[in-house]
């Protein structure tokens, strides 16, 4: 997460471009800029319950989620917590 907070949308887009062959740089840069403006990339890598519930609501309203799964059943934060402690 340090990288996305320390670099411009154009720099980030350049790095991730190989993963998005079908997307032109202008569009990819605009998407990255929007993510930064929305504060999509948080400082903490721990996927908090409120963020999970928000994502579930978004996916459900988009018709991409047929059934909600409890946070505790799907999310494990142990690895992120361990990494954050080092």
Domain boundaries of the chain, sorted by first residue:
2-37, 49-84
Q: What is the model's pLDDT at position 20?
A: 97
The residues, any chain, with a CB within 8 Å of residue 81's CB and separated by 6 or more, are: 46
**How many other CB atoms sit within 10 Å of the CB of residue 68?**
13
Q: What is the model's pLDDT at position 40?
A: 82
> Taking the mean position of all CA atoms in its chain, how far away is CA 49?
15
* pTM exceeds 0.75, yes or no: no
Q: What is the model's pLDDT at position 2?
A: 83
55 touches 42 (CB < 8 A): no
Per-residue pLDDT of the chain in tens (86 residues, 90 and over written 9): 789 989 999 999 999 999 999 999 999 999 999 999 988 887 888 899 998 999 999 999 999 999 999 999 999 999 988 888 87
Q: How far, CA to CA in Å, does 75 sit from each of 34, 46, 56? A: 26, 10, 12
The residues, any chain, with a CB within 8 Å of residue 20's CB and separated by 6 or more, are: 28
């Amino acid at each position: 997460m340090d990288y996305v907070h320390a670099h411009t949308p154009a720099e980030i887009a350049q790095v991730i471009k190989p993963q998005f062959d079908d997307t032109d740089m202008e569009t990819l840069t605009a998407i990255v800029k929007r993510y930064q403006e929305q504060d999509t990339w948080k400082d903490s890598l721990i996927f908090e319950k409120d963020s999970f519930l928000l994502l579930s609501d978004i996916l459900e309203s988009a018709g991409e989620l047929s059934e909600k799964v409890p946070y505790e059943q799907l999310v494990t934060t142990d690895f992120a917590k361990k990494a954050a402690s080092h």
